A and B are shown apart, each in its own frame.
Chain A
Amino acid sequence: MKQPLPHHLPFWIGLVLFALAGIVPASGQEADGPSDADRFFPRQGFMLTGYGGAGYNVLLADGETPNNFSTIFAPIMLFQISDRFLFEGEFEFEIEEGVTATDLEYAQLDVSLNDHFTLVAGKFLLPFANFSERFHPTWINRLPSVPAVYGSHGAAAAPTDPMLPILSDIGVQLRGAFDLGNFQTVTAEVFVTQGPVVAPDEEESAGGHDEGGPLAAAGKGAAILSGGGAGGLAFGSNTSDNNNNKMVGGRLGFSISPYFEANVSGMTAAYDAAGDLNFSALALHLEGRHGPFTLHSEFIRTWQDLLEEEDHEGLAAAKGASATGALNEGLVETLARSGYWVQLAYRTGPWQPVVRWSQLFDGKAGSETLTDAGRQLALGLDYWFEPSFVLKLEYLINDEEVDIDNNRLALQLAFGF
């Protein structure tokens, strides 16, 4: 099946942006040296910031999985090398349902090229939609859980296999911001990174945030490739790149702060050793604000090439073929999945009720359904002690094709420091 994104297009976009970054003249404030406040400060500095949280999860009507405490600590280190260079990194240490996970969420160098462009290199949160990059920290996410389209970071008790993890990967990124006046801004990002690979087997898994396969059902997962074969896809630094095909992607957005923001994003990469099987994703992000009301939504679609093995019924990932780097004699079909989530929050004093609806549709390859549909309703109530210190209560209702009752009650104390 034809992939939706021409592979070379983001390359040309990135090339143009790089060229612009070089030839566009710096605005006066940069060319003339330090500004008013700049001259007061030494050029180097360090600070520690970050976020964390502690929670208690109750799986209702399950009877098998014990109720669990959980905790997360995510320190963020900011090293100001100069007024143009900043190095930042975030670690995550999480204990949930008896599993201790550690991860380097990002470690990136930000180079401010001029008033509009910033070059980012290292491991970074991907500019794909908004949730991964901006909304997943505990004190920013209005609910203890993440939308059902995402795995990891509090994704326990999802109605079906999530579509994507909280996305971060290693590579280089060029970011642009253009002020149109009246608080209107156009933003554009392009990136080139390692890309996804077939996830290792569950028994080999370190339980990292970015892995898929059976871990997805336990909330640790990434995009899943189901249908009888092993393995989902792994994003991030848990594995080295297995081919010379890098993932390319980008995002284009427009905002009228704070009332409206919209962006479209996409990414595409080959994930097998031979570079024959492709993964692509598209997303539309919409958000709006009116008084005390805040609305967020994302619509995501993914395509993943699958290789049929002769000794499997239906379609399955040919992990063996991928490992050897050779296509077998089977057919290539493309698993297409779609999902969305919509969240509405209302702030009244320190209280903030929140409602979020997530829906994943049947994942189909040709006429065959490989992943089940699922729906999730999250009802939450937040109490804000401080702007960055909140107590969240959530009742999560899952409605899935398979008759499993994994509704959840969660309580989380979250803070940003």
Chain B
Amino acid sequence: MRLLASSLLLFVIAYLGLASQTSVLPEPGDEIALSDTTLAARIGLGAELFSRTCQRCHNPRGPAERTDREWVIIMQHMQTRANLTRGQARLVRDFLLASNDADLVPGRLRSDLETPTEITDDLIAKGRLVYQGAGTCFACHGGNLEGGPIAPSLSDAQWKNGSGDYADILGIIRNGVPGTAMAAYPGGITDEQAQQVAAYVWAVSHGRVDR
């Protein structure tokens, strides 16, 4: 009888494990565009999860209490402590990241943006390829970063947006410039490519390399 009960229990647990693989929640990796309407739905679902799950143990903390990076670390801790699925933890995280910033852009780092400890020649070389290729940056900013009718020069010290330091350049590539043709992640580049092309633009504008 004990063996039968044990076997039934194991079957139930195995069924739960195998049958629950299809998450009922949206997949965070599905969308790329930060302004996609699905993003708003994800943030809304994350907000609801936040309000429902946190209060099971403690008073919900305000999103503005923490920086983006701190919320990332905390939610990894809370995934274990609060028995959340990874998908649930990421939805709550994305809501918190969006909510501690004026613009509803998840992952915006503000002062957490870092200049790489070393902008290497390899990084710059890869960025040049992105600029001239997948990023399609040349189409508006010119093949020599000289600018054009709809986009400013990137080769001098004059900046319409930001201060021209690496963090601001990267932020523009990640977030775009509202009201202009500058889109976030132009050409659908990855964040790694965004960092590469930001390094290239920074290096050119600061005279570290030729175009």
B17, B21, B84: residue with the most chain A Cβ atoms closer than 10 Å: B17
For B121, list chain A residues within 8 Å (CB). Answer: none
A102 to B111, CA, bound (A): 37
Whether B76 pairs with A80 at a CB distance below 8 angstroms is yes
A128 to B76, CA, bound (A): 22
Proximity bits, B4-21, A CB within 8 Å = 1, else 0: 001001100110111011
CB distance from A191 to the nearest CB of B (A): 13
Q: Is A134 interfacial (CB-CB < 8 Å)?
A: yes
CB distance from A209 to the nearest CB of B (A): 19
Whether A45 pairs with B72 at a CB distance below 8 angstroms is yes
Tell me which of A13, A17, A35, A78 contacts B74 (CB under 8 A).
A78
Q: Is A29 interfacial (CB-CB < 8 Å)?
A: yes
Q: Is A228 interfacial (CB-CB < 8 Å)?
A: no
Give the contacts of B82-96 with A (CB-CB under 8 A).
83-88, 90, 93-94
Q: Which of B49-57, B131-139, B201-209 participates in binding chain A?
A: B49-57
Whether A17 pairs with B13 at a CB distance below 8 angstroms is yes
Q: Is B188 interfacial (CB-CB < 8 Å)?
A: no
For A180, list chain B residues within 8 Å (CB). Answer: 20
Tell me which of A27, A37, A181 contacts B94 (CB under 8 A).
A37
Whether A27 pairs with B87 at a CB distance below 8 angstroms is yes
Whether A258 pairs with B79 at a CB distance below 8 angstroms is no
Tell me which of B6, B18, B51, B77 contacts A78 (CB under 8 A).
B77
Tell me which of A45, A188, A255 contacts B73 (CB under 8 A).
A45
Proximity bits, B123-141, A CB within 8 Å = 1, else 0: 0000000000000000000
A212 to B53, CA, bound (A): 35
Q: Is A140 interfacial (CB-CB < 8 Å)?
A: yes
CB distance from A304 to the nearest CB of B (A): 23
A175 to B78, CA, bound (A): 13
Proximity bits, A27-70, B CB within 8 Å = 1, else 0: 11110111111111110011101000000000000000000000
Whether B73 pairs with A37 at a CB distance below 8 angstroms is no
For B180, list chain A residues within 8 Å (CB). Answer: none
Q: Beyond A114-B86, A179-B20, is A188–B13 a contact (Cβ under 8 Å)?
A: yes
Q: Which of B23-31, B143-151, B155-163 participates in binding chain A?
A: B23-31
Q: Is A299 interfacial (CB-CB < 8 Å)?
A: no
Whether B10 pairs with A416 at a CB distance below 8 angstroms is no
Q: Is A12 interfacial (CB-CB < 8 Å)?
A: yes
A112 to B90, CA, bound (A): 13
A38 to B70, CA, bound (A): 13
Tell me which of A24, A32, A253 contacts B18 (CB under 8 A).
A24
Chain A interface bracket (under 10, 10 to 19, 20 to 34, 35 or more): 35 or more
Q: Beyond A112-B86, A185-B83, is A289–B55 a contact (Cβ under 8 Å)?
A: yes
For B58, list chain A residues within 8 Å (CB). Answer: 139-140, 387-388, 416
CB distance from A183 to the nearest CB of B (A): 6
Give the contacts of A7-24 with B (CB-CB under 8 A).
9, 12-13, 16-17, 20, 24
CB distance from B123 to the nearest CB of A (A): 15
Whether B72 pairs with A29 at a CB distance below 8 angstroms is no
Whether B76 pairs with A134 at a CB distance below 8 angstroms is no
Q: Beyond A37-B90, A183-B52, is A177–B73 a contact (Cβ under 8 Å)?
A: no
A27, A88, A140, A384: residue with the most chain B Cβ atoms closer than 10 Å: A27
CB distance from A10 to the nearest CB of B (A): 10
Whether B87 pairs with A24 at a CB distance below 8 angstroms is no
Q: Which of A115-123, A143-151, A360-368 participates in binding chain B?
A: A115-123
Tell me which of A13, A27, A183, A416 contacts B21 (CB under 8 A).
A27
For A120, list chain B residues within 8 Å (CB). Answer: 80
Whether B20 pairs with A175 at a CB distance below 8 angstroms is no
Whether B29 pairs with A29 at a CB distance below 8 angstroms is yes
Q: Is A353 interfacial (CB-CB < 8 Å)?
A: no
Whether B17 pairs with A116 at a CB distance below 8 angstroms is yes
Q: Is A293 interfacial (CB-CB < 8 Å)?
A: no
Whether A40 pairs with B24 at a CB distance below 8 angstroms is no
For B29, list chain A residues within 8 Å (CB). Answer: 28-29, 32-36
A134 to B10, CA, bound (A): 27
For B51, list chain A residues within 8 Å (CB). Answer: 258
Q: Is B109 interfacial (CB-CB < 8 Å)?
A: yes
Q: Is A110 interfacial (CB-CB < 8 Å)?
A: yes
Proximity bits, A176-203, B CB within 8 Å = 1, else 0: 1111110101111100000000000000
Instruction: List 13 A–B pairs whose Cβ atoms lie within 8 Å, in order of A's numbering.
Output: A6-B6, A35-B90, A39-B190, A40-B191, A41-B109, A42-B114, A78-B74, A115-B86, A178-B17, A179-B23, A253-B83, A257-B49, A257-B53
Q: A37-B93, A37-B106, A116-B86 are in contact. List 13 more A-B contacts (CB 8 A).
A: A27-B86, A28-B29, A35-B29, A36-B32, A39-B190, A39-B191, A40-B106, A40-B191, A47-B73, A134-B81, A140-B57, A179-B23, A416-B58
Chain B residues within CB distance 8 Å of chain A:
2, 6, 9-10, 13-14, 16-18, 20-25, 27-32, 34, 39, 48-49, 51-53, 55-62, 68-70, 72-74, 76-77, 79-81, 83-88, 90, 93-94, 97, 106-109, 114, 174, 190-192
- List of 8 A-B pairs having minimum Cβ-Cβ separation, nearest first: A35-B28, A40-B107, A387-B59, A39-B191, A20-B17, A257-B52, A181-B24, A178-B20
